[in-house]
Amino acid sequence: MTSIRYASIKDAPTLAQLLGQLGYPTRTDDVAARLLVPRQYPNAVALVADQNGNVVGLVTCHMFPAIHVTAPVA
């Protein structure tokens, strides 16, 4: 079963590996530090897809005001 949950520091090793597979080689320590950044911004979030206890995906979302619409966009 796959579920979506907030990314945590303990996910950093797996996320570094996933990012490397996507062509973004990243050290585990850097991923761990970057996971702290969305917590500083109320309009940002990092989520992972968890399949039976294994992280298999990552998405980050940032909401911001835009000039072409009234409501914030993500």
Residue 70 lies in a domain: no
pLDDT of residue 38: 67
Residue 15 lies in a domain: yes
What is the per-residue pLDDT across 2-15, written as a single tens digit (0 to 9) for each?
A: 999 999 999 999 99
Flag whether pLDDT at 31 surpasses 80: yes
Here the CATH number for the domain that contains residue 8 is 3.40.630.30
Provide the mean pLDDT of the chain: 92
In this prediction, residues 22-36 reach a mean pLDDT of 94
Task: Please tell me the total count of domains within the chain.
Answer: 1
What is the per-residue pLDDT across 36-54, written as a single tens digit (0 to 9) for each?
A: 876 777 888 899 999 999 9
Q: What are phi and psi of 50, to 5 degrees?
A: -115, 120
Distances (CA, A) of 13 to 24, 29, 50: 14, 8, 14
Residue type for position 41? Y
